Chains A and B, each alone.
Chain A
Amino acid sequence: MHRIEAGAGDSDYDTHPFGTDVMWQTNASVLRHRGHEEQTWTETFPPTRENALENNWVDMWLQNENRPIKDLYCSMQRKIEIRRKQERKMKKKTGLESWKEEKGRSWRKFRRKMSVVLQHLILWKGSLQTIGGQFGTGIQSYFTFLRFLVLLNFVTFLLVAGFIVIPSIAFNELGLNQTVSHSPNNSKCFEYNPNPQGLERFYVFIMNILMGTGFMEWTYMFYGYYKKTSVNFSNFSYNVPLAYLVTTLAYFLLSLLWTVIRSVQGFKQSLITDDSSVNNYTDKVLAAWDFCIKDEKIITLKQRSIRYELKVDLEEEKIKRLHAQRTICQRAGIYSVRILLNLIVIALLCGAFYCIYRSTQESQLLLALESVKGNFILELLAGYLPSIVITAANFILPLLFNITIKWEQYILSVEIRLTLVRCVFLRLASLGMLLYSLWNNITCGDTENKTPCDNCGYNYVENKCWETRVGQEMYKLLIFDFLTVLVMILLVDFPRKMIVDHCSCKLVQLWGQQEFVVPQFVLDIIYGQTVCWIGTFFCPLLPLLNTVKYFIIFYMKRLTLFSNCRPADRTFRASNANFFFLLVLLLGLAISWVPVLYSIFVMTPSKPCGPFRDQAFIWDTISMAVESLPKVARNFFEFIASQAFAIPLFFFSCIVMFYLMALGSSYGKLVKTLKDQLQMERSRKILLNQAYQ
Chain B
Amino acid sequence: MGGSSSQLSKELLNEYQDLTYLTKQEILIASQRFTDLLQKDRKSTDTTETGRVSKKTFLELPELKANPFKDRICYVFSTSENHDSMSFEDFLDMLSAFSDSATLEVKSYYAFRIYDFDGDGALSREDLEMLVNRLTGEEENSKLSKDEMRQLIDNILEESDIDKDGTINHSEFQHVISRSPDFVSSFKIIL
Q: Report the contact-size class of chain B (Cβ under 8 Å from the partner).
A: 35 or more
What residues of A have a CB within 8 angstroms of the CB of B98 in the complex?
291
Per-position binary interface string of chain A over residues 116-149, scored 1 when its CB falls under 8 Å from any chain B CB and 0 otherwise: 1001000000000100110011000000000000
* Of the residues B63, B170, B181, B183, contact of A273 by C-beta under 8 Å: B181
A573 interface residue per 8 A CB criterion: yes
A286-B180 CB under 8 A given contacts A112-B17, A303-B136? yes
Per-position binary interface string of chain B over residues 52-67, scored 1 when its CB falls under 8 Å from any chain A CB and 0 otherwise: 0000000000111111
B31 interface residue per 8 A CB criterion: no
Q: In the bound complex, how far is the Cα of B156 from the Cα of A136, in angstroms?
A: 24
Instruction: Find out whether the CB atom of A306 lies under 8 angstroms from the CB atom of B96.
Output: no
Instruction: Find out whether the CB atom of B180 lies under 8 angstroms from the CB atom of A73.
Output: no
Instruction: Find out whether the CB atom of B181 lies under 8 angstroms from the CB atom of A290.
Output: no
Q: In the bound complex, how far is the Cα of B120 from the Cα of A292, in angstroms?
A: 27
What residues of B have a CB within 8 angstroms of the CB of A35 in the complex?
116, 119-121
Instruction: Find out whether the CB atom of A68 lies under 8 angstroms from the CB atom of B186.
Output: no
Q: In the bound complex, how far is the Cα of B90 from the Cα of A70, in angstroms?
A: 14
Of A77-85, A445-453, A602-610, the stretch lying at the interface with chain B is A77-85
Instruction: Find out whether the CB atom of B170 lies under 8 angstroms from the CB atom of A294.
Output: no
A73-B66 CB under 8 A given contacts A282-B180, A292-B189? no
Instruction: Find out whether the CB atom of B185 lies under 8 angstroms from the CB atom of A282.
Output: no
Q: In the bound complex, how far is the Cα of B189 from the Cα of A682, in angstroms?
A: 38
A174 interface residue per 8 A CB criterion: no
Nearest CB of B to A210, in Å: 42
- For A32, the closest partner residue in chain B by CB is B121
A77-B79 CB under 8 A given contacts A116-B24, A682-B163? yes
What residues of B have a CB within 8 angstroms of the CB of A306 in the complex?
135-136
* Of the residues A28, A115, A291, A304, contact of B187 by C-beta under 8 Å: A291
- For A28, the closest partner residue in chain B by CB is B170
Per-position binary interface string of chain B over residues 69-104, scored 1 when its CB falls under 8 Å from any chain A CB and 0 otherwise: 100000000010101000001101100111000010
A655 interface residue per 8 A CB criterion: no
B39 interface residue per 8 A CB criterion: no
A560 interface residue per 8 A CB criterion: no
Instruction: Find out whether the CB atom of A71 lies under 8 angstroms from the CB atom of B180.
Output: no
A299 interface residue per 8 A CB criterion: yes
Q: Which of A1-58 contact B (CB under 8 A)?
A: 24, 27-28, 31-32, 35-36, 38-39, 42
22 A-B pairs with CB atoms under 8 Å apart are A36-B119, A39-B81, A69-B19, A75-B89, A76-B89, A77-B79, A77-B89, A137-B185, A281-B155, A281-B156, A285-B132, A287-B180, A287-B183, A287-B187, A289-B186, A291-B186, A306-B135, A307-B135, A307-B137, A678-B163, A679-B164, A682-B164
A-B pairs with the 10 shortest C-beta distances? A35-B119, A575-B181, A76-B89, A682-B163, A307-B136, A287-B180, A287-B183, A269-B181, A32-B121, A296-B66
B: which residues have CB within 8 A of A?
15, 17-21, 23-25, 62-69, 79, 81, 83, 89-90, 92-93, 96-98, 103, 105-106, 109-113, 115-116, 119-121, 128, 131-132, 135-137, 142, 144, 148, 151-152, 155-156, 158-160, 162-165, 169-171, 173-174, 176-177, 179-183, 185-190
